[in-house]
Amino acid sequence: MKQTPAEIGPQTRVLVTAGAAGIGRAVAERFLALGARVAICDNDADAVTAFATRHPQAMAAIVDIVDEPGMTAFLARVEATFGGIDIVHANAGNGGPAGLIEDLTPSEWQQTLNVNLMGSFLTCRWAARVMRAQGNGLIVLMSSTAGLFGYPYRSPYATAKWGIIGLMKTLAMELGPAGVRVNAICPGAVEGARMDRVVANEAAARGLSSQEVRAQYVATTSLKTWVSAEDIVNQIVFLAGPAGSKISGQALAVDGHTEAIM
Q: How far apart are CA 165 and CA 148, in angstroms?
A: 9
pLDDT band at residue 3, thresholds of 50, 70 and 90?
Answer: low
Q: Once rounded to an integer, what is the mean pLDDT over residues 116-130?
A: 97
Contact 87, 13 (CB under 8 A): yes
Contact 256, 221 (CB under 8 A): yes
Would you call 151 a catalytic residue per the annotation? no
- Give Cβ neighbours of residue 35 (< 8 Å, ≥ 6 apart): 8, 9, 10, 12
Domain locations in the chain?
A: 13-254
The pairing of strands 37-42 and 137-142 is: unpaired
Instruction: Give the whole-number percent of the chain exceeding pLDDT 90.
Output: 81
Three-class SS of residue 83?
Answer: coil
pLDDT of 236 > 70? The answer is yes
The domain covering 13-254 belongs, at the CATH homologous superfamily level, to NAD(P)-binding Rossmann-like Domain (3.40.50.720)
Q: Once rounded to an integer, what is the mean pLDDT over residues 102-131?
A: 96
Q: Which of 7-16, 52-61, 186-195 has the lowest mean pLDDT?
A: 186-195
Catalytic entry in 151, 153, 157, 217? 157
pLDDT band at residue 246, thresholds of 50, 70 and 90?
Answer: very high
Contact 66, 115 (CB under 8 A): yes
> What is the pLDDT at residue 262?
67
pLDDT band at residue 1, thresholds of 50, 70 and 90?
Answer: very low
